[in-house]
Amino acid sequence: MDNAIRESIQIIWKQLLKSQPTSRAELAKLCGFSKVTASSCVDWLLDKGLVQELGVTEIRRGRPPMLLSVNGAAGVLVGIEADKISSKIAVTDLAGSLLERHDLPAIDSDPQKFVGQVSHYLMQFRKAYADRRLGVAGVGFAIVGSYNQEEGIIEYVANQMAWNHYPFRLEMEKMNPDIPFLVSQIAKASALGEARFGTCGGSDYMAFLSANWGIGVGLYDGITGKITRSTRFGHATINYNGKKCICGNRGCLEAYASIRALFEQFYPDRTPTFALFQNLVERLRQGDSQVISAVREMVEYLAIGIVNVINAYNPRQVCIGGLLSFLVNEEMLSRIRSLVEEMVPPHFRKNLRISVSGLGDMAAVYGCVAMVRDQLTNFFG
């Protein structure tokens, strides 16, 4: 296929994802294409099964347009989050509706074992959804640490030496040779997931705090619909002579305001597990004074981190997500907002919204689904 044609199809596809249900004429208008070009692109999408015709809409005059939408039943997408304490794999249809979710073991010292576990699930999904035209249409990974997109190598994961320089793409392709997949960093995937499927996104410039074992920030530009960057904001210094962080520095934000900080306080000698985290959540709900006190203190530091995010990036929306979203209740959120008001001049927080993600710990997984779905047209020859 000619590159220009492929690019046009990709533009039409992404616009349809944003504005569905819509018509060929409306897509042509929104994309700045001629009706002929837009119609040809839609025909290609229909032929591949990515799009379906819903029927005509009623109008007072003229020929009623045929409405189009994503063909959700044509195939499935798989999103996978690989993190220190809570790894998971989920399946959605092409429209993004959740079909199933499974918890995976947290990443450990054996990346090959993790790839094997994921590949086992993918084999099961291929069998379960073999009756769908596109089957498993694509897989997205959100990983902790740094990933080299060009070389397909996981370059660095803190305190997980076996993962450093691991040839992730090569090993995945060996075990799953005919399934296309994409890889992103967790904070980037989380911001995209929130923007596409959550309540914090929309048309604004959003900073998504992905707060799990550590803290990352993903920045989403609502105008372009793209993630502008992802940062290791958890390692911003908030106390020069403070606690020692796993990165070797002192006084990092995540040494005070992450799930890791809570585990170091309540479970210093135990292997981090999702079950232990759930125990913390339950203790908070039951009014455990020690947990409440610890979370309130954590919120004080988190507010400092949010102020630094506001000063650095000037977002219109700050969204708190990841596992931390289960601990920041209305009382805690109100406290964060009050502290931010105290530390940020009115001009720089005008129309600023601070909220908690409604996706809970699923933002990164949904981001993986969105990332793969955006690129579906490029998976066809």
Quick: pLDDT tens for 22-51.
999 999 999 999 999 999 999 999 999 999
Please list, in sequence order, all residues whose beta carbon lies within 8 angstroms of the beta carbon of residue 286, skipping any fewer than 6 positions away: none
pLDDT of residue 232: 83
pLDDT of residue 202: 67
SS3 283: helix
CA-CA distance, 85 to 275, in Å (whole number)? 9
359-339-235 Cα angle (round to 5): 65
Distance of CA 373 to the CA centre of its chain: 13
pLDDT of residue 161: 83
pLDDT of residue 57: 65
pLDDT of residue 98: 96
Report residue 223: phi and psi, to 5°. Answer: -75, -45
> Are 259 and 277 spatial neighbours (Cβ–Cβ below 8 Å)?
yes
Sign of torsion over alpha carbons 154, 155, 159, 162: positive
pLDDT of residue 107: 78
Reference 206, options 319, 106, 111; nearest CA is 319
CA-CA distance, 367 to 195, in Å (whole number)? 8
- Give me the residues of the chain with pLDDT under 50, please: none
HEC secondary structure over 305-361: HHHHHHHHHCCCEEEEEHHHHHCCCHHHHHHHHHHHHHHCCHHHHCCCEEEECCCHH
Whole-structure pTM value: 0.92
pLDDT of residue 17: 94
